[in-house]
Amino acid sequence: TQLLEQSPQFLSIQEGENLTVYCNSSSVFSSLQWYRQEPGEGPVLLVTVVTGGEVKKLKRLTFQFGDARKDSSLHITAAQPGDTGLYLCARWVAGNMLTFGGGTRLMVKP
């Protein structure tokens, strides 16, 4: 049973479109991380959100942590082919176990 549910599982869009992916949990978490993974490589951390209602921006990526700290979203504006990859949310459980959601696989077509 995954503690983190991500949606959608797959997303295929055209270059220039906007998109949002979601990460939800039934439990409250102290912080949440978003990672991006390209084919053949390990995940790379994009951001950590720690405060309810927090919004962080990373160029065209906007990350939001829900007020109740049970959910998070990642919004990409004007997607580019270079944004193609697997987006994973993750949270630390019991201090030493980083658990991941199932991921959203994004493909941006030129």
Partner 1 sequence: NAGVTQTPKFQVLKTGQSMTLQCAQDMNHEYMSWYRQDPGMGLRLIHYSVGEGTTAKGEVPDGYNVSRLKKQNFLLGLESAAPSQTSVYFCAIRLTGTNYEQYFGPGTRLTVT
Residue 56, interface with partner 1 (CB under 8 A)? no
Amino acid 42 reads G
What distances in angstroms separate CA 83 from CA 36, 55, 63, one per listed residue? 9, 20, 15
CA distance 57 to 8: 21
Residue 85, interface with partner 1 (CB under 8 A)? no
Contact 28, 69 (CB under 8 A): yes
Residue list 8-27, contact with partner 1 (CB under 8 A): 9
Minimum CB–partner distance for residue 32 and partner 1 (Å): 10
Residue 48, interface with partner 1 (CB under 8 A)? yes
Residues within the interface to partner 1 (CB under 8 A):
2, 6, 9, 31, 33, 40-45, 48, 50, 88, 92, 96-103, 105
